[in-house]
Chain A
Amino acid sequence: MGKLAVFVQALSNYGVFIMLLSKMKEGQIGIIVRVGGNGALRRRVLEMGLTKGTEIYVEKYAPLKDPLELIIKGYHISLRVEEAANITVDKL
């Protein structure tokens, strides 16, 4: 687990509903708090509309549990679990 993941885990232990997108379950809704990760990947994720404050709905995981499908800004997008682990969300 990276530093961020440890931090997020600690927060959720205190009842703050902030978690990594990769830990969300099918059918859950959240709002993006932060998009991490390095240069090109991060920019690409942002440009596809996964910006701070965007509402996301976890539509489903692929049969092999990776990648996952989200609905954002009215369209469907898929991300690998490892990429979703860079995104922090506020679970609703």
Chain B
Amino acid sequence: MHKKNITIALAGNPNSGKTTIFNNITGTRQKVGNWPGVTVEKKEGSVSKYGHDLKIIDLPGTYSLTPFSIEEIVARDFVIEESPDVVIDIIDASNLERSLYLATQLRELDCKVLFALNMADVATSRGTKIDANKLSELLDVPVVFTIGNKNTGIDSLLKAAIKLAESKSKISQKRKVKYSNDIENSISKLQSFIEERIEQNLPYNIRWTTIKLLENDKIVREHIRQKTGNKSLEIFREVGTHRKHLLDRFDEDPEIVMTDERYGFIAGIIKEVVTKSTKRRVDTSRNVDLVLTNRFVGFPIFILFIWIMFQTTFAVGSYPMEWIDSGVNWLAAILEPSLPDSLFKDLLLNGIIAGVGSVIIFLPNILILFLFIAIFEDTGYMARAAFLMDKIMHLIGLHGKSFIPMLMGFGCSVPAIMATRTLESNKDRILTILITPFMSCSAKLPIYILLAGTFFSAKAGTVIFLIYITGIILSIITGRLFRSTLFKGADAPFVMELPPYRVPMIKSLIIHMWDRSKMFLKKMGGIILVGSVIVWMLTAFPRHINYSMDYNEEINNINASFTEKQKKAAITKLKLAEKAEKTEKSFMGRIGKTIAPVFAPIGIDWRGSVALLTGFVAKEIVVSTFGILYAAEETDEPDALKNALLSSEMTSLSALSLMIFVLLYLPCVATIATIRRETGSLKWTLFSIVYSTSIAWAAAFCIYQGGKILGLT
């Protein structure tokens, strides 16, 4: 039998169980990417069933098709532009009335629509009975019952979709929303006015276009302008007349009246298809919520959950991190003796393996973190976290949901920035991405421990704590500043559904977790690889350096004189000095020395600037660079580096300035790659780099120069 391709789009409200149905249909054969030009996730999957190749597209979950958010624009554009063969609207049966709003909007678009009444079992248990035949008859749309989390009804849903796609019958124009007489009059008059003025057919249904023009839909207006050229002015004038007429008649904007009337139409349908039993039932979800958002215990429980997430991600995650680390070291140790000394070997061991090793070491964190986020989202707790935190976050000009990414920033910015995907508004998402790097990540901690431990000994804990607080304060200032300048305008409204609590499905959790991790490995791997190779090249070249002395000869000289023990110490010292000089004279060292004047006003010498530069690959490297430059390796003598730092020109004031700079300056290459990916914009990525580095310099300058004026050292 000849196989035919059928494209099926899944539409539906958030929390309608759409993703579960999508996972059930496609299993693991999914492709996750972005919709062109925007960072809204696009999922598609293919499956062969009943002699057809089905391509399933998961549209973003939306409550309506009014183009306010990117998700809505993406969903509507897909249905209009790509004309899928069938659109399946997944309707949460226990939430029928509101779900029908999107359904009536889909019904108004010229597409073949099919309703999946999902989670009807939940509705039944709540005492709601839905007459599917009546609903199907009233809206002239096929209706299928499904229970996504039990995988029932999926086959009949697909069969119905195929049947609908194959049917030759025209899309029924009846049974759409009927508006009040005044509006219907305007629609039909405007419709014939437009029809008289366009030669070729409009790509979309004419009634729909007319309705959208009456609603002052900016995107449809633009389409009309492009299609009709200079006739558009005439059309828009007529639209304006009708809008004015309706405004006078109703004392309201037409789009408001039409939204009202759509809900009125829905109320009529509900009356006919739903029977509710009056028996009171125990609402488990509501009882759970009374505890979890309770005035007294709500916050303590929230903090406990976050603490568990944090602990598991970074404490439990540290074990597999060690395994990966030793695996990487093992690989390097095997390759080390088996390869001849060459530039290639150096590149492979110190560039590629070390670089890739520094990336995949984050994988356990990412996996665990996203497992938690998936659990929070799938159970419905994420909405409650936002509900609890919104008041506080709103002070910074952010949404309650921004809290999770910001908090995760204390662990690692990479998963934190990836977690901003849970935010619906693009403004909120970018603002959160911009301030998350100010949350001091765990990789910076070794630097603070070294510097604060060396220069502030007994007060080290307090100093480190104050540095963390500085980061938080600066993120608040940044948030408020950007809200009132770059992201001016009203905040995204906090009109958020609090879905009922549900038991998450293991399959969905694993798919969610795996999608994220795959994305991390694939996309980040490439950029970080390139970044680490560049840094390696800068430190490894030039190959031939004019050393200040002949180290090999010195080492040979030593061999002749001292005792065994003295000899060993002297040789180590010389070897370290050689390594330090090599780094100093490499390109990296030269760059560091060239830009050193920039760092002079904040009390950082050329060694500091080289260390900061290498910190671009990963912040952990800053400490080891210090080790190399001060010719002290901590492994040999625990306090060697501390002593070297104390005897250097560095003061406690310049150490403080350096720590503040480390806290705020440009994030590591992995974070930058993530910012680039998640904002989808080079402009914002560069802005983030420039902004954070300037703030870092300014803050360090204030501390260093201010301290000097106050006479501190």
The chain A residues found within 8 Å of chain B, CB to CB, are 38, 40-49, 51-52, 54, 59-60, 62-67, 69, 73-80, 83
Asked if B259 and A46 sit within 8 Å, CB to CB, the answer is yes
**A41: shortest Cβ distance to chain B, in Å?**
5
**B379: shortest Cβ distance to chain A, in Å?**
15
Asked if A64 and B391 sit within 8 Å, CB to CB, the answer is yes
**Residues from chain A with Cβ under 8 Å of B391 in the complex:** 62, 64-67
Interface size of B by CB at 8 A reads 42
B555-605 residues at the A interface, CB under 8 angstroms:
none
Q: Which residue of A lies closest to B97 (CB)?
A: A73
Asked if A66 and B390 sit within 8 Å, CB to CB, the answer is yes
**Residues from chain A with Cβ under 8 Å of B260 in the complex:** 46, 51-52
Q: List 23 A-B contacts (CB under 8 A).
A: A40-B490, A41-B493, A41-B495, A43-B68, A43-B259, A44-B68, A45-B495, A47-B101, A48-B495, A48-B497, A51-B263, A52-B260, A60-B290, A62-B390, A63-B293, A63-B388, A69-B293, A73-B97, A75-B497, A76-B500, A79-B494, A80-B493, A83-B494
Given the known interface contacts A41-B490, A62-B391, the answer about A47 and B64 at a Cβ–Cβ threshold of 8 Å is yes
Q: Which residue of B lies closest to A45 (CB)?
A: B495
Indicate if B387 sits at the interface (CB-CB under 8 A): yes
**Residues from chain A with Cβ under 8 Å of B298 in the complex:** 62-63
In the bound assembly, the distance between CA atoms of A62 and B294 in angstroms comes to 8
Asked if A42 and B101 sit within 8 Å, CB to CB, the answer is no
In the bound assembly, the distance between CA atoms of A54 and B267 in angstroms comes to 10
Given the known interface contacts A47-B101, A51-B259, the answer about A69 and B495 at a Cβ–Cβ threshold of 8 Å is no
**Residues from chain B with Cβ under 8 Å of A67 in the complex:** 387, 390-391, 494
In the bound assembly, the distance between CA atoms of A38 and B101 in angstroms comes to 21
Count of A-B residue pairs with CB < 8 Å: 107
From the candidates A48, A74, A76, name the one contacting B63 in the complex (CB within 8 A).
Answer: A48
**B445: shortest Cβ distance to chain A, in Å?**
31
**Residues from chain A with Cβ under 8 Å of B490 in the complex:** 38, 40-41
Known A-B contacts: A47-B66, A63-B388. Give 17 more (CB < 8 A): A43-B66, A44-B495, A47-B63, A49-B101, A51-B260, A54-B263, A63-B293, A64-B388, A67-B390, A73-B97, A75-B98, A77-B496, A77-B497, A78-B383, A78-B495, A80-B394, A83-B494
From the candidates A63, A75, A83, name the one contacting B493 in the complex (CB within 8 A).
Answer: A83
**Residues from chain A with Cβ under 8 Å of B290 in the complex:** 60
Q: Which residue of A lies closest to B490 (CB)?
A: A41
Indicate if B498 sits at the interface (CB-CB under 8 A): yes
**Residues from chain A with Cβ under 8 Å of B493 in the complex:** 40-41, 44-45, 80, 83
Asked if A78 and B496 sit within 8 Å, CB to CB, the answer is yes
**Residues from chain B with Cβ under 8 Å of A59 in the complex:** 286
**Residues from chain A with Cβ under 8 Å of B388 in the complex:** 62-64
From the candidates B64, B97, B295, B383, name the one contacting A74 in the complex (CB within 8 A).
Answer: B97
**B210: shortest Cβ distance to chain A, in Å?**
19
**Residues from chain B with Cβ under 8 Å of A65 in the complex:** 391
In the bound assembly, the distance between CA atoms of A62 and B94 in angstroms comes to 25
**Residues from chain B with Cβ under 8 Å of A77 in the complex:** 495-498
**A5: shortest Cβ distance to chain B, in Å?**
19
Binary contact track B281-320/A, C-beta < 8 Å → 1, others 0: 0000010011001111011000000000000000000000
Asked if A73 and B387 sit within 8 Å, CB to CB, the answer is no
**Residues from chain A with Cβ under 8 Å of B66 in the complex:** 43, 47
**Residues from chain A with Cβ under 8 Å of B383 in the complex:** 78
